[in-house]
Amino acid sequence: MLLHDPNDFLARAHALPADRPACADAVFLVRPDGFALAEQSASDNRYMAGASAFDSERALAQHDALAEALRSELPVTVFPGDTQTPDAVFPNNVFGTAPGRLVLGHMRHAVRQREAERQDIREHFTAQGRELIDLRRQPGIAELTGALIIDRARGIGLAGYSERCEAAGAAAMLDAFDLRLGYGFRLTDGEYHSNVVMSVLASRALVICPDAFVDPATPRSLAEFYAPKVIELTVAEKDGFAGNCIALRPDSVWMSESAADGLMPSSQHAFEQAGFRIRSVQLDAIEKAGGSLRCCVGEVFDRY
């Protein structure tokens, strides 16, 4: 069920049990081989830098360090990149999982649509017995966990509408990820993905930049639902990718080093009060492509 009224969302969300695993069993990454500006993606991603700012060797080194750091918490699989798909370093937009399922996203741009054609990632997951759910066969743009923030424990999908997702795509993602409830809302102009402006950490805390939503009632309703564990970001913190964070365990949150360094003391304290230790790695080279740490991480869920 996809809702758009904040009061309806709150009434139904409060009735849902948090009876599913909140954090992933493993993750997968795609190396930034052929790291370069994807001009199509840049057309609606204001966070991307110009072509001259891309440093492929630095991006590769930082990505290797990210994979090694994440292995301190859970298993990590790293797939090679491809010079024909320069955005592939952000695989969570194209490939997603739920127990027993592999989901292929419906990407807006052709340069990203090519990522879903690669067989190695598909075969890696279908060999585990997962059903392949291909959202490219339905009309709505659906860029998976770039556009959809998932509260895994409750089975809630929070869909931010932009050029990268609309209601039809959001509804398709709710079914594909086997979610119980969806809440759709518009992001402000210039915000291309929900996971840049907000995150739900381990299904118990909300990170959000209220200024990134068209209707102020949206962030208010989300903050009410996750209160008191709410970390409200300033626009500057959001622009520094602090909202592009992820919890892979119940007691820690990952973000880029620059995002962590840009947090105000009040925000640092709010993460601590919510029970999360901030862990970070340097990703300034990868952030030139318009995404940060959470965008690099594809989550693997094996069980309910």
Per-residue pLDDT tens, the chain, 304 aa: give them: 999 999 999 999 999 999 999 999 999 999 999 887 777 876 777 887 788 888 999 999 999 999 999 999 999 999 999 888 888 899 999 999 999 999 999 988 888 889 999 999 999 999 999 999 999 988 899 999 999 999 999 999 999 999 999 999 999 999 999 999 999 999 999 998 999 999 999 999 999 999 999 999 999 999 999 999 999 999 999 999 999 999 999 999 999 999 999 999 999 999 999 999 999 999 999 999 999 999 999 999 998 8
Nearest-angstrom CA–CA distance, 163 and 21: 31
Cβ-based neighbours of 36, under 8 Å, separated by 6 or more = 51, 54, 56, 83, 86
Element counts in the chain: helices (H) and strands (E): 13, 16
Between CA 203 and CA 130, with CA 93 as vertex, the angle to 5 degrees is 75
Q: What is the pLDDT of residue 144?
A: 97
pTM equals 0.96
**Distance (Å) of CA 168 to CA 140, 156, 191:** 5, 16, 19
Q: What is the pLDDT of residue 119?
A: 94
Range list of H helices, 28-166: 39-42, 56-70, 110-113, 119-126, 144-147
Q: What is the DSSP letter of 162?
A: B
Nearest-angstrom CA–CA distance, 295 and 29: 10
Q: What is the pLDDT of residue 35?
A: 85
Domains and CATH numbers, the chain: 2-281+288-300 (3.75.10.10)
Q: What is the pLDDT of residue 131?
A: 97
Q: What is the pLDDT of residue 33?
A: 93
Q: What is the pLDDT of residue 226?
A: 98
Strand partners, 232: 208
Nearest-angstrom CA–CA distance, 159 and 184: 5
2, two tokens = 């996809």
H helix or E strand, kind and range, residue 272: helix 265-273
Q: Tokens 């759910």 label which residue?
A: 133
How many other CB atoms are there within 10 angstroms of residue 209's CB atom? 23
Say if CB 293 and CB 255 are below 8 A apart: yes
Q: What is the pLDDT of residue 86?
A: 82
Nearest-angstrom CA–CA distance, 244 and 113: 22
Helix or strand or coil: residue 247? strand
